[in-house]
Each structure stands twice: as structure tokens, then as C-alpha cells.
Amino acid sequence: MADFDFDDSPEAGLKGSLGKDFFWGYATAAPQIEGAWSTAGKGPSTWDTLAHTPGRVVDGSTADDACRSYDFFRDDVALMKRYGVTAYRFSLSWSRIIPLGGKDDAVNEAGVGFYSDLIDELLKAGITPFVTLFHWDVPQALEERYKSMLDPGRYIPDFVRYARVCFERFGDRVGHWITYNEPGVYALAGYAGGAHAPNRSSDRAKYSEGDTSTEPWIVGHTQLLSHAQVYRMYKEEFAPTQHGTIGITLSGNWSAPYDASSPADIAAAQRALEFEIAWFADPVFGPGDYPASMRAQLGARLPTFSPAEKKLVNGSSDFYGMNTYTAFFVRDAVPPGQPIPPEDHKGNLAWSDTNSEGVSRGAESDTEWLRTSPWGFAALLRWIWARYHTPIFVTENGTTARGEHVSAPPGDDVLNDVHRIDFYRAYVGELARAVKEDGVDIRSYFGWTLLDNWEWAKGYTDRFGVTWVDFESEEKTRYPKRSATFMREYFGHLIAR
């Protein structure tokens, strides 16, 4: 008997609204779950360096063990099969495959073997692999050699060679590739705010190197050019025989005007979407250049594309990879006519949890910035579809929930994660409505995430998983939450049989 009955619910009319070939499952990232950070030939990444630098992670933790998925990946695949998923999105660790990272550096066969075994295990379980080449962990050797993405002339050949190795070794079994995960977050959190690797920022009270006014835009440009080169290489050399698809995943939350009747606030909301999303999406999916609002604020600090680079980048993705979590109300931070500080990297915006009428953006989670905002998700799906008219793969979406930081074993009050169930029910329902009612072409949904994990600079203080993990146990014991059952049955209702 099913735990959830959707036939007599507000979602009854959505039954079968998603196609039979719709992919659903969970997403993860190598640095957050694998552990085995220095074993079997793996080289250090910039995130290994950050984690071992005192004061960089809020709880003082490292990802040395994380969830130990390197050791227990077969158990994780069995868990996903039990959860009923049809696809799994995971990332490869560049420094596990090429420890020193460079185009002339040696390949680590043990690392290749690990991912090959994982892919085989997924296929044996009937789960389709979606593979991300880069989820924020640059080999530390490249950072030391030439500051990685700040030197595109040296970085791009190294990244292209890494991608080639992956296509050669795994492309016979992998048909869905993502080049970069959230290039905007990587550029801003690592080179503007500085809290993420490689810890660069103009804030000298916290960071010894960096220039917030210029470096994020250089890094973003480098990611676009290297993504496009990898895309073209795959389409020309590998797709004819491997018949796969390849694209890029962009981050972006919905921004709404603080005062819906204010022209300035309406303009601020549009500018927010352009600085966060169109920064990468316009060059790839749109007119082929950065948004005019970015050029107007940043001027010459924003790199320019040559005609050949525009042609290379434009159209360089088979789908729109979409990571999104919440929504905000926005307005101008600096009033019109006043100078915007050169360190501003968000588009001169101020964010609010409520709008001018006191309406909240949504229920609070266990993470300060994240509130349940399905209304924003619905609006964003339609905005992206209308602006770019490209098939959408939702590659990350999820939430934390309060009360999950307890000792093992977790009780029923923790495992019955009502807040997360409510979140998924609302968001996935809006996805199904966008497909059914407005014809938005959406082809996947990956929840973030399979396991509670190491959430970057937040360490183990954020639990996003549909599986509770006992980080104090040697085996990192897994406990399924009720949201995993909910998702299995919900997609069983929504996907056509």
C-alpha cells in the first residue's frame, strides 16, 4: 500500500503530466560525498586546501571522509534503486582522474577505475548517469602553477584535455554530460565574496589575495570559453559515435520587485535575473553577449568576446541545466545617480524576505537564505523558457529542514521530514503544471541531495539529504527519510506510464 495518496489530492489532475522518458533522481558533488581525499593516487584540490586551512569552514570540519561514498558507492546505488530513481547526477573529481590537472600530466588509473565501476553499477541498477565534469574542485597544482582560471591561456587546454580523457574513458556508457556546475556561484563565491575556494577577494581582513572588482568576471569568461571548446570537441569528435548530449548547468533564483508598483523595483528585479542568470545564459542561449545591464555597470571590467568567441559560445549547449532553490524581493541598493562601488558584483541590489506589502517569500528552512518559494520557481521556469526556448533539465533543487542535527539514531520526528516533503510537493507540482498548462519543455528533476553531506564552507551544519547520515560513525550509517518515499510515489503519480 502506498504511503501517499495523490488520486484524491490537489495534484490529482497532474497525473501522467510528465513524459515516460522524464528523468528524476538526486544530484551530488564529488567533494561533498566521496571522502578518500588523498588515497588511491588522488591529488589535492583547492577545496582540500581550503578545508585544511583553519577558520575557513564554519564548524572546523574537513571532507576527508565526508559520506565515504568512495568506499560505499554500491550501497548508495542500492539505496537509489530502493528509492525508485531513474537517473543520478554526480560529478567527477578532476584531481582524482588527473592528480596534477595539466594537459601533459599523468592520468590516475585508480581514479578512472572508481568512476568506471560507479557507472557500471548504476547501469546495472537501471539508473541513467548524468555526469558533471566540474563541480568547483580545481586541482590545487593548477592554482599553484598559474592561478587556474585567472590565466585562460593555460587553463583552457588543461580543462579540454581533462574533458577528453573523460569522454574517452566513460563516453561509451555515459550519454548525458554537464561541463560546469553553477559557474556564476563559483566565480562570485570564490573570487568576490571569497568564502569558497580559492579564497580570493578584495577583503584584506579575511583574504590575502584577490580583486573583487575584476576577477569574478575574468573567471566567468574563462568558464564560458572553456565550456564552449569542450562542447565543440564533444559534438565533433565523440557525439557521432557516442550519441550523447552535453550542456552547462546555471544557478539562479527568482527575483521579484520589492514594490510591484515601482518602476525602479521592477527594473531591479530584471537586473537581478540578468546579473545572476543571463550573465552566462545570454552568451550561450541568447543573443550571444553579456546583458546590457552588466556592461552598463561594469564597463571595461567585464571582458568582451571576439567575433570568433561569440560564434564558439553561442549555441554551445544542448539543454538549459537549471539549479534553483528559492526567491527574493529586490530593489536598488544605491539610489539612482549615486556611484556604485566597484566591489559590487550582484547588480546594485538589496534583498528582502518580505515585500512592500509584508508578504513573505516563504517558510523558513534551516539555512538562512533558503525559504520555500514555489511561486518563484513557477515564475522562473516560464521566464527561462520564454527567454531562451531551450529544453530545461532541472539539475538541482532542495532544502534543509530544522531539527535534523541530532545524535544517532535519528527518531521518527527527524526522519519524518515534513518540511522537505512540503517543499518537494510544492516545487515538483509547479514543474508539472508548467509542463501541462504552458507547454514548458522540462525533461528532468534532480533533488538536492541524496545524502546529508559536507556542504562546502558550511561543513556539516546544513543537511539537505533525503537520507540522514551519521557522520560520527565509521561507516557513515545512512537512514532514509520519509521524503525519499514521498518522492518515489510522487513521481510515480506524475510520470506517464
Query: Is 343 considered catalytic here?
Result: no
Set 396, 404, 430, 455: catalytic member: 396
Q: How far apart are the first and last CA of the chain?
A: 19
Pairing verdict, β 467-469 and 478-480: antiparallel
Q: How many CA atoms lie within 13 A of 75 on its CB side?
A: 15
Set 11, 34, 143, 182: catalytic member: 182
Q: Give the residue numbers marked as catalytic.
A: 182, 396
